[in-house]
Structure 1
């Protein structure tokens, strides 16, 4: 069974808004690229899928935009080509190497986890909370930004029960960003 890993940027006060925190630097982009490489497929809800697609899909011209630094391209290429599964009740179709997951969420994700491979990556806010409530997430990766946002959506807000975690790795980048990798206790 392949593990389901949830990874997200989070401020010290728990904010997970995509614009909260430090702008990505070379260390964090290398980290995120490596995280994506650990997965056979990405699992997104509609909002995260659309946000990632608008930022990281290769333009029709085939050339990355001028604003993108050379050190950002490996991440862009990795997420652009990765297979994706999108959970949505409002979208009729998806592209960008993606398919729609319909029906019972638990059944669909359990089926994905049963496939052979090295893992699934889930990002975002709403979908991971539902998956955490179902106890389907095997690993949590928090990229902790050394700042207080003071506003915005917070990490796993509304979770029905406590999820016990075992810290299995800590790493600090030169920017002060700390990665905390945890395994879900059974």
Structure 2
């Protein structure tokens, strides 16, 4: 059975919005590249899928845009070639190495987890909340950034029930960010 890992950048005050001033650096991009490479497939909701596709899909020319720095290329290449599963009732034909996941969310995600492999990776805000409420997340991974924003969507806001976690790994980055991995108790 493949574990489902939820991974996200988060500020010290719990904000997890990509526009919250969570500017990537080489070390954090390398960290996320390593984490994505551990997954057999990425699981996204429509909004996160479309956001990631607009930023990280390799252009038809094969050349990354000028805004993609050389230290971002390994991440870009890793996410571009990764298999993706998109949970959406409105998207009709995802074509960025993606298959559409429709139907009962719990049933479909359990089916994906039962396939052989190293694991599934989920990012975003809305889908992970639903998966956490269903008890389907096997590992939570937060890259806590040394930033306070005071605004924006917060991590797992609206969670129905408390989830007890145990720390299984911790890594400090030179930037002051701390990567922490937890498993439900």
Calculate the TM-score normalised by the size of structure 2. 0.98
Partner residue in 2 for 1:43:
43
Distance 1:152 1:23 in 2: 15
Distance 1:101 1:169 in 2: 31
Distance 1:3 1:69 in 2: 32
Unaligned runs of 5+ in 2: none
- State the Cα distance separating 1:20 from its structure 2 match: 1.4
2:168–2:183 Cα contact (<8 Å) kept: yes
Partner residue in 2 for 1:184:
184
Distance 1:147 1:132 in 2: 25
2:9–2:22 Cα contact (<8 Å) kept: no
- State the Cα distance separating 1:21 from its structure 2 match: 3.7
Unaligned runs of 5+ in 1: none
Deviation track 1:63-110 (CA, whole Å, cap 9, x = no partner) reads 011221111101000000000000011111111000110000000000
- State the Cα distance separating 1:58 from its structure 2 match: 0.2
Secondary structure of the equivalent of 1:183?
A: strand
Distance 1:67 1:121 in 2: 26
Partner residue in 2 for 1:98:
98
Distance 1:156 1:67 in 2: 31
Partner residue in 1 for 2:59:
59
Could you list the structure 1 runs, at least 4 aligned residues long, displaced by more than 6 angstroms after superposition.
none
